[in-house]
Amino acid sequence: MATLQINNLHAKVAEEGGESILRGVDLEVNSGEIHALMGPNGSGKSTTAKVIAGHPAYEVTDGEITLVLDDEDVADIDEEVPAEKREWDLLALEPNERAALGIFLGFQYPAEIEGVTMTNFLRQALNAKAEEREELFEDEDEDEAEADEEESGYDTSPMEGNPDDGEIGVAEFQQLLKEKMELLDMDEKFAQRYLNAGFSGGEKKQNEVLQAAILEPAIAVLDEIDSGLDIDRLQDVSEGINALRDEQGTGVLQITHYQRILDYVEPDHVHVMIDGKIAESGGADLAEKLEDEGYDWVREQVYETA
């Protein structure tokens, strides 16, 4: 069971005199759990998500983000994974390295990439992730040996391409994609469409969940995945999120404005963020209280203690 630990996280916009947004966030998410992160606009929810994934627009000024892995999380690694490779300081890693360790960010406004089919993109992402994982967990002597090997060049014709060591094959991947798409009630045609290009808001959100289902992250941070969805689509997306937890044991940090999605995705924990900090935490009933009473009472509590 992987654990994402966020301690005293401070972050600002990465430019001179950039606005300080996170002011000491503490949060712990275990795989298999669903956490809802709620709060008014501008309180720092999306920034938290982006900083976890390593977005270059933000600069972390204090605090830590640590990912702790257990046996199950590294079961795919051939060799014994030593203790020092069980605990990762995410802030020292590139976004793709974080992804390789099992962090997934579901975007509120995902990028549209023309000319790249969903199938091609997802297969490449899956292979890139596997390759990066291997490198992260490889010990350093082997690393060098591999680099030498790469430098010695190819011995195949360019038409044949290089042998894809350990990569998922096209046919195998297509089967996987088909299964996952059925689960989310997505049309087969999606596989040949360009990544998010011309997708409706709902289709984009479904696509984010589909990607999480395929990449099988330990922790998925889903940024307002419920916004702009009609009720049918909301149910599909919710089913997908529940499946992430139930079938893959993914830990979910669900960022949302509304109680609505929590009717379908029942959270184990609910957190309220105000002014860049977690102001209140509780169970599912906290979300209901927020729905009824708004955020003002939390805000008042914050000011009283301040």
Smallest distance from another protein to CB 96, Å: 5
Closest CB to another protein among residues 100, 252: 100
Element (H, E) at 4: strand 3-13
Q: How many CB atoms lie within 10 A of CB 5?
A: 16
Smallest distance from another protein to CB 131, Å: 9
Closest CB to another protein among residues 170, 294: 170
Binding interface with another protein (CB under 8 A): 53-57, 94-96, 98-100, 104-105, 107, 110-111, 113-116, 121, 124-126, 128-129, 132, 153-159, 161-162, 194-195, 211, 215
Closest CB to another protein among residues 204, 233: 204
Q: How far apart are CA 237 and CA 231, in angstroms?
A: 10
Token pair of 256 as six digits: 């949302």
Helix (H, G, I), strand (E, B) or coil at 283: coil
Buried b (16+ CB within 10 A) or exposed e, 119-133: bbebbeebeebeebb
CA distances from 282 to 45, 240, 252, 297 (A): 17, 24, 16, 15
Smallest distance from another protein to CB 197, Å: 9
Closest CB to another protein among residues 160, 285: 160
Closest CB to another protein among residues 112, 300: 112
Between the CA atoms of 223, 227, 233 and 234, what dihedral angle is there, to the nearest 10 degrees? 70
Closest CB to another protein among residues 41, 156: 156
Closest CB to another protein among residues 102, 267: 102
Closest CB to another protein among residues 17, 115: 115
Q: How far apart are CA 108 and CA 111, in angstroms?
A: 10
Smallest distance from another protein to CB 111, Å: 4
Smallest distance from another protein to CB 108, Å: 11
Q: How far apart are CA 123 and CA 39, in angstroms?
A: 36
**Residues in a beta bridge with 252:** 34, 220
Smallest distance from another protein to CB 110, Å: 6
Q: Answer for the pair 64, 7: CB distance below 8 angstroms, yes or no.
A: yes
Helix (H, G, I), strand (E, B) or coil at 88: strand
Q: Answer for the pair 230, 254: CB distance below 8 angstroms, yes or no.
A: no
Smallest distance from another protein to CB 154, Å: 4
Element (H, E) at 303: helix 296-305
Smallest distance from another protein to CB 195, Å: 8
